[in-house]
Amino acid sequence: MARDMKKHDDVHPAAWETLSRTEEAACRVFSVIRKRCRHPVKNLEADFYVLESADWVNAVAVTPDGRMILVEQFRYGTEALSLEVTGGVMDLGEDPIEAAERELSEETGFVGKRARLLGSVRPNPAIQSNQCHIVLIEGAERLGPTEWDENEELALYLPTVEEAYEMVYSGRITHALTLNALLLYMPVWKADRGAI
């Protein structure tokens, strides 16, 4: 599985050094940083803008009867509704699994029986420093009330997993990080189906 492919040329991209960091804007859930960077070999310096923030977590949560837990909410970036897995910003020092269980419970009232990390992705290596961790929560049932922030309104959807994948390819689900969660869950789901 973990074979790694050889390069097909002799280019070796260099790691630039960061000479200085200046905060350009503090935006609550992220900071905008201007970095002055230097290429270690070429005589070259440049400024790059990046966002620094805590890591994020997404929960692929499935019920005992094979439904996926999705929520739809208004998003201020796109100014539109967005259908997504549950998730959010991790608290300082929080473990990804704990964070995923907390977000699922707060957003939907569902609590799972088992949870494990499926993988971690980089939301945008060019301009973001952080990771998004993707956690699988199985055996999820509605055990409690939701605990939304003042600004949150979340509509709950419980498609079958198959229907969730149909919504990927019909363009109903477009959130990049939710699509990552579904990509990493795909082999687990297929293996489970094969076992039936």
Within 121-160, the residues that bind its own copies by CB under 8 A are 121-129, 132, 150-151, 153-159
24/91 with CB nearer its own copies: 24
Beta strand 56-61 pairing with 45-52: unpaired
When binding is defined by CB under 8 A, the residue of 54, 95, 139, 168 that contacts its own copies is: 168
Q: How many CA atoms lie within 13 A of 81 on its CB side?
A: 10
Long-range CB contacts (within 8 A, 24+) of 87-95: 87/56, 87/57, 87/58, 87/59, 87/132, 87/177, 87/181, 88/56, 88/57, 89/29, 89/53, 89/54, 89/55, 89/56, 90/54, 90/55, 90/56, 90/57, 90/133, 91/54, 92/54
Answer positive or negative: Cα dihedral of 196, 68, 89, 112. Answer: negative
CB 46 to its own copies: min, Å = 6
Q: Which of residues 65-124 bind its own copies (CB under 8 A)?
A: 72-82, 84, 119-124
CB 116 to its own copies: min, Å = 15
Rule CB under 8 A: is residue 13 a binding residue for its own copies?
Answer: yes
CB 16 to its own copies: min, Å = 6
Count of chain residues binding its own copies (CB under 8 A): 84
The tokens of 69 are what? 């837990």
1/195 with CB nearer its own copies: 1
Rule CB under 8 A: is residue 38 a binding residue for its own copies?
Answer: no
Q: Is 176 helix (H, G, I), strand (E, B) or coil?
A: helix
CB 122 to its own copies: min, Å = 5
When binding is defined by CB under 8 A, the residue of 91, 141, 166, 192 that contacts its own copies is: 166
When binding is defined by CB under 8 A, the residue of 65, 93, 114, 169 that contacts its own copies is: 169
Rule CB under 8 A: is residue 19 a binding residue for its own copies?
Answer: no
Answer positive or negative: Cα dihedral of 108, 110, 111, 113. Answer: negative
How far apart CA 192 and CA 8 sit, in angstroms, is 37
Rule CB under 8 A: is residue 35 a binding residue for its own copies?
Answer: yes
24/192 with CB nearer its own copies: 24
